[in-house]
Amino acid sequence: MAIKVIIADDSDFVREGMNIILGVDGDFEVIGCAANGRECVELARCGSADVILMDIQMPEMDGIEATKIIAREGLGKVLILTTFDDYDLVRRAIRSGAKGYLIKNHPPDRLKQMIRSVYSGVNVLDESVFEQMASVEPTKSHDFDESDFSARELEIIAAVADGLSNREIAAKLYLSEGTVKNYISGILEKSGMEHRTQIAIYYLTGNKQPPRQ
C-alpha cells in the first residue's frame, strides 16, 4: 500500500519537485499540495494523509501552527522539511507534534527513507540539527518525566542528550561500554522508544513517541 503524502511549501518549485520525486515511486502517493499552513490543514482534514511534508515559513499560517492543529486532530504524521536549523524552531516544531525534522539538502532516496521511517512510527532528526542540539548545554524539559527512570538511567539519558557516544558515556560514568549499552536498551524498552535520538528528543523537548503496541 502506498504511503499517502501531502506536500506543504510556499515555493512552487519545491512543491512540483517533491511531487515529481515521490510521484515516480510506487511506494508513495501524493494526495495534495498546499502553498501555506492553512491550505495544508484543510487538505489534511479532507484526505487521509499518512505523512505530511511541512515547510516552516509560509504565509497565512506557518508550518509550526499547522503542525499543532494536525497533531491535535490526528490528521497525519508531520515531517518538517525546511531550510531553517535554528534550535528554537526545532524545539518548537517537535513540541508541536512533528515526528521528524529535516533540512532541505538531502538526495531523493534519503528523503524517501525518512518518510518511510516517520510512517513506520520512528522519529527522525537531521544529523546537523541533532549535532546543534547536542552542542547546546542540554536542559531537561519540564515535560520530561523523571519518575519513569532510576538515578543511573537519568545520568545515561542526560549524557545521550549531550551527544556523547556509548564509549564516552562509559568513560564519564566509570562504567563498561557493555553496561552502558544495556542501560540504553533498558531505557528504550521501558519508554517504548526505538533509538537513542528519541531519548535525546524526549529529554530536551518533552516530546515522547507513544509506546509500541
State residue 83's pLDDT score: 84
CA–CA distance, 202 with 144 (Å, rounded to integer): 6
State residue 134's pLDDT score: 61
CATH topology of domain 3-133: Rossmann fold (3.40.50)
The CA-atom distances, in angstroms, between 172 and each of 36, 119, 139, 180, 183 are 47, 36, 18, 11, 14
User: For 162, phi and psi rounded to 5 degrees?
Assistant: -80, 0
CATH topology of domain 138-205: Arc Repressor Mutant, subunit A (1.10.10)
CA–CA distance, 7 with 36 (Å, rounded to integer): 10
pTM of the entire structure?
0.66
State residue 131's pLDDT score: 67
Q: Where are the domains of the chain?
A: 3-133, 138-205
Angle between helices 196-205 and 87-95 (to 10 degrees): 90
Return per-residue pLDDT of the chain as tens, 213 residues.
899 999 999 999 999 999 999 999 999 999 999 999 999 999 999 989 999 999 999 999 999 999 999 999 999 999 999 887 677 788 788 888 899 888 888 889 989 999 999 999 888 888 777 666 666 555 677 778 888 899 899 999 988 888 888 999 999 899 999 999 999 999 999 888 888 888 888 888 777 754 443
State residue 7's pLDDT score: 97
HEC letters along 2-14: CEEEEEECCCHHH
